[in-house]
Amino acid sequence: MYHNGEDISAYLDGELPADAARELERKLEADIAAREELEQLRGLRSTLHDAGEPDFQAGQERVWMSLESQLGLKTPLWRRRVSLPYPAVAAAAVAVFALAGLLVWFVGPSSTGLGDFESAAATAANAQIAVGGVDGEELLGWLREQDLAGDVSMELPENAHFRIMGEPQLMKAAEFRGRGESPDG
């Protein structure tokens, strides 16, 4: 009985269309030579695979490292992922807190006054800071020097006692009202 070796080879590869595969299977049932050929091809395939092959996987990593180096693909140190075990991270955190505690203990509380304000201003672009016991002129002078604030709102204490500066002047009520008005208005 006639059979096509190419079809048997394609059948082995699962590349024969479904109807052609069914037809070939019918032939295989009746044709001993065709069955033997299929078995030979299966044997050949197993020989190819059973003979083994070199360790290609080790080379894959080696070649990649070489490519990284040649093409400048290495990830910068600061972008590399670092995996640390949780116990090590916890131990490091405890150590940092302990050191910080010791530092506070030895140095003591930070100075009052503008020192607090300076550290807060350095870290916040828009901050509400309560400052007690600071001379107002000193604060304004410091802000001017640092060129830190475009708008400064100051909330004065309700029961403030203001010191009178300079000599008192007598003026007419109309003149006093005119002080706060614009020249146009």
Residue 130 backbone dihedrals phi, psi, to 5 degrees: -90, 120
Contact status, residue 149 vs residue 129, Cβ threshold 8 Å: no
Taking the complex as a whole, the smallest distance from the CB of residue 62 to other proteins amounts, in Å, to: 7
Taking the complex as a whole, the smallest distance from the CB of residue 32 to other proteins amounts, in Å, to: 16
Residue 164 backbone dihedrals phi, psi, to 5 degrees: -85, 130
Q: Alpha helix locations (H) across the chain?
A: 5-12, 18-30, 32-50, 56-71, 86-107, 114-123, 136-146, 173-179
Q: Does 51 bind other proteins (CB under 8 A)?
A: yes
Binding mask 56-95 for other proteins (x = CB under 8 A): xx-xx-xxx-xx--xx-x----------------------
C-beta atoms surrounding 16 within 10 Å: 19
Which residue, 50 or 167, is less far from other proteins as judged by CB?
50
Q: Does 35 bind other proteins (CB under 8 A)?
A: no
Taking the complex as a whole, the smallest distance from the CB of residue 30 to other proteins amounts, in Å, to: 21
Binding site for other proteins (CB under 8 A): 5-6, 8-10, 13, 15, 39-54, 56-57, 59-60, 62-64, 66-67, 70-71, 73
